[in-house]
Structure 1
């Protein structure tokens, strides 16, 4: 039987250390999940924006086709206008692609840095917890030695 009156304190200390470790691990896990969710949200936003531009282009082409069909002239003005508008939509599409590719590269790089930092942090936390637990056990052993040396009976 352990007659060390400090034993419960050391046990409580170790439980607290373990709980803090679990809390930090869960916090990092939540952060990682949030990063994944952000990447998915960006991908969804990119897709939605692309569809919006396609719908806008289609509506514009339809409007020009209707105007061309209802105008009683053999002018190439509508054809020229359609070509100009198509060129502008192509330029917009190129810009859109460049912007999203850049954003995706930056997000990916940021996510990789975050993952690396979290891995380093977890390693540091695990090492620190291991040291703290060993230190607590050593102090408990030393306190037992002191208690045993004093020959005090605890009832």
Structure 2
């Protein structure tokens, strides 16, 4: 029995389908890594912003120190109390905003992951169907080649 002249073509198609599926899976993994990196960047950004707020508070208090000698003691004390109160409120608002932002981002990434997982399942089924069609076509071609030889 001679080799089916179409077998190489079907082998190439199968190889292309498998390589395409592998590339798609790698793409999904890369997207997951990017999502994880995005979520992981929040802590450092939040910390950096907190440090900026703290520096601003210290600068404000340093300004009060600079003018303390020129103002009555009770006025300086009231100003310090107001600065502390305002920055405490700012810290709380900052923490609340970041918590809400992180929750929202995590929810968005979770939804994206669910959508990607569903897409991956559908694409896997598609690739399996393509491989099945390829195998069936190769079998039909083999049978046709055998029939022609006889």
TM over 0.5: yes
Q: In the TM superposition, what are the counterparts of 1:39-118 in structure 2 within 5 Å?
A: 39-68=39-68, 70-71=69-70, 74-118=72-116
Aligned residues: 150
Aligned match of 1:35: 35
- Tell me which moved more, 58-67 or 18-27: 58-67
Name which of 132, 135, 138 aligns with 1:134.
132
Q: CA deviation at 1:64?
A: 1.4
Partner SS for 1:4? coil
Q: Which of structure 1's runs of 4+ aligned residues deviate more than 6 A?
A: none
- 1:144 maps to 142
Structure with more helix by fraction: 2
CA displacement 1:44-71 (0-9 Å, x = unmatched):
1111001111121122223313422x33
Residue 39 of structure 1: CA displacement? 1.2
TM-score between both structures, scaled by the size of structure 1? 0.88
Q: Say which SS state the counterpart of residue 41 (structure 2) adopts.
A: helix
* Deviation of 1:144 (Å): 0.8
**Structural RMSD (CA):** 1.7
**How far apart are the structure 2 equivalents of 1:79 and 1:15?**
78
**1:90 to partner: Cα distance:** 1.5
